[in-house]
Amino acid sequence: MASGKGIAGRIMGSHIANDFCKRPFAAIQSANGDHLKADVARMCYGNRKSTLEALVDFPKGHTNLYLIEIGEPQNRLRIVVAEGVLGRPSPITFDDIDLGEGRPIEITDQSRRFELIWDSYVAYVVRNESYWLAEPNQIPIKDQLERRFKSAFLDFLSKTTFADDEYPGPLQHWALSTLNHCVDVVSVQPPHIKLLETASS
């Protein structure tokens, strides 16, 4: 059986290199019948956006984001979040107690929408934000999309999958916090982020 290095050399030296490296690792392994190691992972995914570049297109700090779409087109993970805007003031009552006026956070035609796509992933989980619990010694969240380097989710995957830094490659834990949901994604590359056009664009 050919070594991973030999496979990588043949892949990257061929005219199909770009197409090959767009495939999920499972598809690459199936197509070649060989177990690809970390050198192929680095060669295929080393040209992707860096962590810093990936975050440039995403809002900093805390904004009113809602998770509005999540799916797996062609075995990729796609998430869309929309930025809520303040609605018209309206009276608020609770148990017949007048709490004054408040402004709802709503998604409108003016809301910015951001698409995040991971070309491949090891695992992801969605939590109801109401049940979120900070982990011991967790660094306070500064941005709603952050990379975490130590987490219970990474520990869980180390015990329930064979994914590691050797294969499919160095793992990255991305944490996305929105008003109603917390999404955790583990992959070997950062997401592609795009600001989508809105009806008012």
Q: How far is CA 183 from CA 38, 66, 67, in A?
A: 27, 11, 9
* Predicted pLDDT of residue 11: 36
Residues in the chain, total:
201
Using pLDDT thresholds of 50, 70 and 90, give the confidence band for residue 111. very high
Instruction: Report CA torsion sign: 1, 159, 80, 42.
Output: negative
- Kindly report, residue by residue over 16-58, the tens digit of the pLDDT: 334 444 444 434 343 443 434 344 444 444 444 444 455 557 8
What are the structural domain ranges in the chain? 4-45, 51-196
Greater pLDDT, 34 or 106: 106
**DSSP state for residue 138 in the 8-state scheme:** P
The candidate with the shortest Cα–Cα distance to 19, out of 44, 46, 41, 48, is 44
Using pLDDT thresholds of 50, 70 and 90, give the confidence band for residue 190. very high
